[in-house]
Amino acid sequence: MSEISNVTELKNVLEAALLTSHEPLSLDDMLRLFAEKMERTTLRMLLDELKQDWSGRTMELVQVASGYRFQARDEYAVFLARLNPERQAKYSRAVMETLAIIAYRQPVTRGDIEEIRGVAVNPNVMRQLQERDWIDVVGQREVPGRPSLYATTKHFLDDMNLRSLSELPPMEDFTQQEISI
């Protein structure tokens, strides 16, 4: 005898879990919801259906790097922003450029970042990005000094609403302008 007999009930459980979770839920997370064994393909099918069910509603089910989550549709962002009038402090250009270098050229060392930007890396910049959990150290380059290699995290992709790095705007978009000598 099964705990849940019909598809609607299964989808409701998924929906409740996704709506209450603070972090995106992975397929493995969601499989744990059910006492009985469920195939991943079944789960994916249910998620697809759930996504369909919510089409035209205020929330949409999206997939990001670490799993699935519900988020408000774009058109409501402008209203929701009014709830918290104090704007998120903007990151400095140094922070964003460092982040861009790590995102597009990872894994990179501080030296690589300095080479591209032409200025020394401010430790504060790296700290800000690490505290945000957008970058972390993934290893050391086997050269004298064994400098740390930095890469972006899944959390960075989640926050940027991306499933993988390949969804970043392609670098070619930014390299077309030739500098005439």
Residues that bind other proteins (CB under 8 A): 16, 18-22, 59, 69-72, 74, 76-77, 80-81, 88, 90-91, 93-94, 96-97, 99-101, 103-104, 115-120, 158-161, 168-169, 171, 173-175, 177, 179-181
- Cα-Cα end-to-end distance for the chain: 77
Q: To 5 degrees, how large is the angle CA 20–CA 26–CA 32? A: 75
CB of 37 to other proteins, least distance (A): 19
CB of 9 to other proteins, least distance (A): 17
CB of 55 to other proteins, least distance (A): 15
CB of 97 to other proteins, least distance (A): 4
**DSSP-assigned letters across all residues of 52-117:** HHTTTSSEEEEEETTEEEEEE-HHHHHHHGGGS-SPPPPPPHHHHHHHHHHHHH-SB-HHHHHHHH
Q: Which is nearer to other proteins, 76 or 127 (CB)?
A: 76
> Which amino acid is residue 13, in one-letter code?
V
Q: Which is nearer to other proteins, 42 or 121 (CB)?
A: 121
